[in-house]
Chains A and B, each alone.
Chain A
Amino acid sequence: MIDQYVVALSTYANDIDNLILLIGVLVGFWLILCELVFFYFIIRFRAKDGRRAEYITGEEKSHKRWISYPHMLVLVCDVFIVFFAIKVWYDVKQQLPEPYETVRIVGQQWAWSFVHPGADHELGTADDIKTVDELHIEVGKVYHFKLESRDVLHSFSVPVFRLKQDAVPGRVITGWFEANGTGTHDIQCAEICGIGHALMPAQIFIESPERHAAWVAEQSPVTLASANQP
């Protein structure tokens, strides 16, 4: 349903799409049923000469059944939705698989800056690669991100990953993603952050292992890059 508009490029994107589809089917059923009955009643019970409306209080059990049974069914649907929603939520937001690398993402008015761990896969070392508005990652690897903000709220949103997380000043929020397809896509800011909110586009470059290694080598400070050569 969603991948018709935005390709799904993370391991959990399809879970989220399927959850949306499940909800769509369940609520769509109720919506269509209600609207059909509703319009049928409007047409069926139009005022006619000589016919009087019925006197139904709706307080008797036999009448109340007509609303109490459907709402039990709604409850059953809710249980399904809750179950799958929490399952997806747990996978995406609550648990963290072991990372291959961790990147640092910092939002500020009005740019994203990214700190890649570089050749040694460790953040906070001398070979970290700092970029602005460009995030380079390798396909098929689990990444953690440490999300921060320098000034106001921002929201790190990657539609192709179906991922969104607000960056809150004063907090470091950890999340994860694993891309399963290459390409270059939008990173957006999804939380209003001032006048330049619309001018805060960044891009994510999902690269094959070879290209990513080449990018890392190209970006790394020369001495470190040569030091790492065997």
Chain B
Amino acid sequence: MRPIATTRMAAGIPTGRLAIWWVVASEIVIFGGLLVSYIMHRLAKPEWGDHAANTNVWIGGFNTFVLLTSSLSAVLAHKAAVNGDGPKAAKLLYATCFGACTFVVVKALEWNMEISHGFTISSNTFWSFYYTAAGLHGLHVIAGAIIMLIIAETAKKNLELHRVELIGIYWHFVDIVWIFLFPLLYIAK
């Protein structure tokens, strides 16, 4: 039995979505703290541009493309869910998960390449930030993909369709974080 509390909507936003906004808000400050630390170091140290030159823009760009596309499938899944088409929403969520997996695999290959070139997490503070920020973001990608699979399972049966939108909002947030990580880590040289 679901508590009556969950059905109320005094603030004008359904409870699940309201909570997701708070999740996003607290995630903003987590990534914010890390990125503010990075930006302060980056602005102080022009030589980090040379370190950043060793990152591969094309791989980063490809990953941005993957995430943007998976965002599109997430929002299309939401649209399908709004129209009450659970199986279609589930299929689009699987597509989003596929995007997440591609992202992670490409990331792993990229790191593997960089580490084999001698750029490890303890090389210097730029690389520390590089691996920490991308790693923290990568954990969010993996967590989002797992939750998405669970939601897709229920959505397939046309149950709990509102959750499709919730994971979508979270996913778009992860996307936005990457949109900023990409220029910060790859382009600014």
Chains A and B touch each other in the complex, with CB atoms below 8 Å apart: no
Binding site for B on A (CB under 8 A): none
